[in-house]
Structure 1
Amino acid sequence: MTLRVVIADDQALVRAGFRMILSADRLDVVAEAVNGLEAVDAVRRTRPDVVLMDVRMPDLDGIEATRRIVADSDGDPRVLMLTTFDLDHYVYAALTAGASGFLLKDVTPEHLVAAVRMVRAGDALLAPAITRRLVERFARRDPAPVPHRDLDTLTPREREVLRLLAEGLSNAELAAHLHLSEATVKTHVARILAKLNLRDRVQAVVLAYRTGLVSPTA
């Protein structure tokens, strides 16, 4: 099936550039939006697989638009945030709102297409260690743990996997550390996501820091 995308950005040149890149790779851009309100409406009308969402837009910013889209959906679409600067201070808020990752606006065409396909497949956009550093940096600003009742549903092994995942270990590193096969690690990660009602590894890392399961380093 053709992968369907909505592009939300207040800059016409950015939208046009992204549309050209995605269309050239046979991805279907089903709508464009110039602000968050239009993005929410476009998602409701077109039911895309992925939304490319600018963080800063007039009328309604990308973070609040993401929050509304996630709250209004049953797992689709995945939201990929667009930022101007690396480690933009809005990124942590975007991830906690339900975004599945973020891209810099100067992304290469190849990386843009790959990123859209990755988040649609349910993979984390960011490398585990980069995700950890990003979340850890901004988690320091909000140190009070937020309870999550579903953590109690995890087995001791699943809690251990979640903690190590949040510390930046890849599946291969998790397997080596725990003396398990990568297939078994993937099964544990899938069960963690299902039990905690999370979309991907990025959200699992955010949750681990927000609940205090993992603490930011000094």
Structure 2
Amino acid sequence: MAIRCLIVDDNDHFRCAARALLEGEGIAVVGMAAASDDALRQVDDARPDVALVDIDLGEENGFEVAQRLVDGHRRPPHVILISTYEERDFEEMIAGSPAVAFLSKSALSGAAIREILQEAG
């Protein structure tokens, strides 16, 4: 069964490129959102297994969005925080978040997502 993924990023170009990459590697992208309200609606409707959430969502904070995606859902997605910034820039905040992992946008791949989800159980 394919992994169902929601991409939450305010950059249209990145969302489209990530979708093409992941779908080419067998990940089913069931939704894309630029902001938290749309992401929350899609979590309820599409019920993804994983949500890729950009740390910097323009006016919104990706850490807060990640928390909202997990809170109050019967079957919340595994959240993977993504960014063009280095993980070390956000280590403490990542550790304090509900995210199962951080993934650099340059390292994004279907294999990386599968490995993270396998480790997360």
Q: Which runs of 5+ in 2 are unaligned?
A: none
- Paired residue type of 1:43: V
TM-score by length of 1: 0.50
The one-letter amino acid paired with 1:3 is: I
Judging by fraction of residues, say which structure has more strand. 2
After TM superposition, give the deviation of residue 98 of structure 1 in Å: 0.4
- Cα RMSD (Å) of the superposition? 2.0
TM-superposed deviation, 1:112: 1.8
Query: CA, structure 1 residues 95+44, in 2 after alignment: closer, same or farther (shift >3 Å)?
Result: farther
Specify whether residues 13 and 85 from structure 1 end up closer, same or farther in structure 2 by C-alpha distance, changes over 3 A only: same
Answer whether contact 1:37 1:59 (CA < 8 A) is retained.
Answer: no
User: Matches of 1:119 and 1:43 in 2, distance apart?
Assistant: 19
1:2-17 maps to which residues of 2 (within 5 A)? 2-17=2-17
Q: What is the CA-CA distance between 1:75 and the residue it aligns to?
A: 5.6
- State yes or no: 1:85 paired with 2:91: no
Quick one: percent identity of the two aligned structures? 28
Judged with a 3 Å threshold, the aligned counterparts in structure 2 of structure 1 residues 5 and 11 are, in CA distance, closer, same or farther, namely same
Q: Following the alignment from structure 1 to structure 2, what is the Cα–Cα distance between the partners of residues 87 and 43?
A: 25
Matched, 1:67 2:43: no
Give the equivalent residue in structure 2 for 1:100: 100
CA distance in 2, matches of 1:117, 1:12: 24
How far apart in 2 are the matches of 1:89 and 1:73? 29
Alignment of 1:1-218 (within 5 A): 1-74=1-74, 76-107=76-107, 112-121=109-118, 123=119
Equivalent position SS for 1:76: coil
Query: Which is worse superposed, 72-81 or 95-104?
Result: 72-81
CA distance in 2, matches of 1:75, 1:118: 20
1:75, 1:94 → 2: CA distance? 21
How many residues align? The count is: 121
Residue 88 of structure 1: CA displacement? 4.9
Q: Which amino acid aligns with 2:100?
A: S
C-alpha displacement of 1:52: 0.8
Q: Which ranges of 4 or more aligned residues in structure 1 deviate by more than 4 Å? A: none
Partner Cα distance (2:69, 2:80) in 1: 12
TM (normalized to structure 2)?
A: 0.86
Deviations along 1:92-145, whole A, 9 cap, x unmatched?
A: 3233220011111212xxx52122112333x15xxxxxxxxxxxxxxxxxxxxx
The answer as to whether partners of 2:87 and 2:104 remain within 8 angstroms in 1 is no
Relative contact order, higher structure (CA 8 A, sep 6+): 2
